[in-house]
């Protein structure tokens, strides 16, 4: 019998596409149209990176709802709400990028995600002991807080896009560590 799909691996893989592609454009890579009159790279980014992040994270949330892979209803709820929250943020960003709308509103939504993420982290820390798998997850989730605050700051002129690009690359690396831990390749994981 085949192993069921690990929802965390599925969602984190999709999120890595969104993080990496957004890091590149924030760092200035392919951030200008290749020729006058060519489509905006931001529209292309919305159609690739942001939509991939949305689809993967919402699918992860759905897989967590339907399968409860951890066997723990509270943990399953957290790993349903967290990817759903970020998935909807990526959907909003995709629409803003594609239609060239005001990025500040995506930044405002990112700030809400940061607040909700902090609450989730406080709950997680209070309910479960400090074991390596959860420490890795908590580090990554705290980095999501930094990325979403940076997203708000960059969209409101309080931080440069280049700095946010580096922030996104760090998040991509930490997310990759989470990917290997949650897949069971790096350790035995409650999510594998």
Q: What pLDDT is stored for residue 187 in this prediction? A: 53
Q: Give the start-to-end residue ranges of the domains of the chain.
A: 7-28+40-183
Crossing angle between the packed helical segments 132-155 and 161-183, to the nearest 10 degrees? 160
Low-confidence residues in the chain, pLDDT < 70: 1-5, 68-70, 129-133, 182-192
Q: Which residues have C-beta within 8 Å of that of residue 98, sequence separation ≥ 6?
A: 43, 46, 47
Kindly provide the b/e burial profile for residues 111-138, where b requires at least 16 CB atoms within 10 angstroms of the residue's own CB: bebbebbeebbeebeeebeeeebbebbe
Provide the sign of the torsion angle of the four alpha carbons 169, 190, 68, 66, taken in this order. positive
pLDDT digits (tens, 9 = 90+) for 80-100: 888 999 999 999 999 999 998
Which positions ≥6 away from 171 have C-beta within 8 Å? 19, 140, 143, 144, 146, 147
Question: What's the pTM?
Answer: 0.86
Residue 95 is predicted with a pLDDT of 94
- If one looks up domain 7-28+40-183 in CATH, what number appears? 1.25.40.600
pLDDT attached to residue 92: 95
185, 57 in Cβ contact below 8 A?
no
Query: Both tokens of residue 114?
Result: 């940061």
């Amino acid at each position: 019998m085949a192993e069921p799909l690990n929802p965390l691996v599925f969602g984190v893989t999709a999120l890595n596409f969104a993080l990496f592609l957004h890091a590149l454009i924030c760092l200035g890579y392919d951030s200008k149209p290749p020729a006058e009159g060519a489509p905006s790279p931001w529209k292309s980014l919305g159609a690739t990176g942001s939509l991939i992040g949305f689809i993967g994270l919402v699918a992860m949330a759905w897989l967590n709802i339907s399968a409860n892979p951890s066997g723990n209803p509270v943990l399953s709820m957290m790993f349903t709400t967290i990817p759903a929250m970020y998935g909807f943020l990526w959907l909003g960003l995709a629409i803003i990028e594609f239609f060239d709308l005001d990025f500040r509103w995506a930044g405002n939504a990112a700030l809400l995600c940061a607040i909700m993420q902090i609450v989730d982290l406080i709950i997680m820390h209070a309910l479960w002991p400090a074991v390596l798998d959860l420490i890795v997850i908590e580090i990554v989730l705290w980095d999501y807080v930094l990325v979403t605050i940076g997203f708000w700051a960059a969209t409101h002129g309080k931080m440069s896009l280049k700095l946010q690009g580096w922030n996104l690359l760090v998040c991509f690396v930490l997310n990759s560590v989470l990917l290997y831990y949650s897949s069971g390749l790096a350790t035995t994981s409650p999510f594998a």
